[in-house]
Chain A
Amino acid sequence: MPTRIIGHVKRVNGPVITVCDITDAEMLELVRIGEQQLIGEVVKLFDGEATIQVYEDATGVKPGDNVYGSAMPLCVELGPGIIGSIYDGIQRPLEKLEEASGTFIARGLTFDGIDHKKLWHFVPSVKLGDSVSGGSVIAEVQESETIVHKILIEPTVGDGVITKIADEGDYNVDEIVATVSQEKSKDINVSMVQKWPIRNPRPVKKRLPFHAPLVTGLRVIDTLFPIAKGGTVAIPGGFGTGKTMTQHAIAQWCDADIIVYIGCGERGNEMTDVLREFPQLVDPKTGKSLMERTILIANTSNMPVSAREASIYTGITIAEYYRDMGYAVAIMADSTSRWAEALRELSGRMEEMPAEEGFPAYLATRIAEFYERAGLMETLCDKEGSVSVIGAVSPPGGDFSEPVTMHTKRFVRCFWGLDRSLASARHYPAISWTESYSEYLQDVKSWWNERSDDKWQSNRKEIMELLQKEERLQQIVKLVGADALPDSQNFILEVCSLFKNAFLQQNAFDKIDRYSIVEKQTKMLSCILTYWHKGLEAIEKGVPLVKLRRLRVVQDVAKIKFSISNDDVQEIDKLELKLERSIEKLGGIYED
Chain B
Amino acid sequence: MKTNDEKIDRRLLAGREYRGSSRIDGPLVYMRNTHPIGYGELVEIVAPDGSRRSGQVLDTSDEVVCVQVFEGTTGLTLPKTGMHFLGHPLTLSVSESMLGRVMNGLGKSRDGSPIAQGQFDRDVNGSPINPTARIYPRDFIQTGISVIDGMTTLIQGQKLPIFSGNGMSHNQLAAQIAKQAKVRGGDSDFAIVFAAMGVKYDVARFFIDSFEESGVIDNVALFLSLADDPSIERTITPRTALTLAEYLAFDLGKQVLVIMTDMTNYCESLREISTLRGEIPSRKGYPGYLYSNLAELYERSGKVRGSKGSITQLPILSMPNDDISHPIPDLTGYITEGQIVFDRGLHSRDLYPPINPLPSLSRLMKDGIGEGMTREDHPHLSNQLFASYSHVQDVRNLASVIGEEELTSIDKQYLKFGQFFENNFISQDFDEDRSIEDTLNIAWQALGYLPSEELQRLSEDEIDEYWQEMED
Contact = CB atoms under 8 A, between A and B. Distances in A.
A35 interface: yes
Contacts of B456: 501, 558
Interface in B399-417: 401-402, 406-408
B250 A103 contact: yes
B36 A63 contact: yes
Nearest to B127: A104
Contact of A104 (B126, B135, B459): B126
Contacts, number: 225
A360 to B, nearest CB: 10
B379 A341 contact: no
Nearest to A86: B132
A59 B36 contact: no
B117 interface: no
Interface string B258-284: 000000000000000000000111110
Interface string A551-565: 000010010001000
Interface in A341-357: 341-342, 344-345, 348, 351, 354, 357
B361 interface: yes
A239 interface: yes
Contacts of B133: 98, 102-104
Contact of B366 (A58, A509, A562): A509
A51 B133 CA distance: 34
A212 B89 CA distance: 56
A191 B363 CA distance: 45
Contacts of B41: 60
A127 interface: no
A358 to B, nearest CB: 4
A181 interface: no
Contact of B127 (A12, A105, A358): A105
A60 B38 contact: yes
Contacts of A94: 130-132
A57 interface: yes
B212 interface: no
Most chain B CB atoms below 10 A, which of A10, A65, A269, A351: A269
Contacts of B338: 240
A268 B131 contact: yes
B291 interface: yes
A534 interface: no
A345 B36 CA distance: 25
A23 interface: no
Contact of B129 (A103, A240, A427): A103
Contacts of A301: 291-292, 295, 298-299, 335
B89 A424 contact: no
Nearest to B384: A426
A298 interface: yes
Interface string A318-350: 000000000000000000001001101100100
B59 interface: yes
Interface stretch (A150-158, A462-470, A473-481, A577-585): A473-481
A540 B448 CA distance: 35
Interface string B35-48: 01111110000000
Contact of B130 (A60, A105, A481, A509): A105
Nearest to B6: A35
B27 interface: no
Given A267-B299, A424-B390, A105 B128 contact: yes
Contact of A272 (B131, B279, B407): B131
Interface string A165-176: 000000000000
B402 A426 contact: no
B440 to A, nearest CB: 17
Contacts of B379: 509
A398 interface: yes
A35 B288 CA distance: 30
A398 B324 CA distance: 10
B61 A341 contact: no
Interface stretch (B18-26, B103-111, B302-310): B302-310
A569 interface: no
B387 A426 contact: yes
A62 B333 CA distance: 36
A32 B130 CA distance: 22
A477 B279 contact: no
A103 B136 CA distance: 14
A558 B455 CA distance: 12
B296 interface: yes
A267 B301 CA distance: 11
A63 B386 contact: no
A307 B383 CA distance: 38
Contacts of A427: 387
Interface of A: 10-14, 18, 20, 35, 57-65, 86, 94-95, 97-98, 101-107, 238-240, 263, 265, 267-269, 271-273, 275-276, 298, 300-305, 338, 341-342, 344-345, 348, 351, 354, 357-358, 394, 396-399, 420-421, 424-427, 477-483, 501, 509, 555, 558, 562
14 contacts: A59-B40, A60-B40, A62-B60, A64-B62, A94-B131, A98-B130, A103-B304, A263-B131, A269-B137, A273-B367, A345-B289, A399-B325, A425-B390, A558-B456
Given A12-B60, A358-B281, A477-B398, 11 more contacts: A11-B59, A12-B38, A63-B61, A104-B133, A240-B338, A268-B128, A302-B295, A302-B300, A341-B288, A426-B457, A562-B459
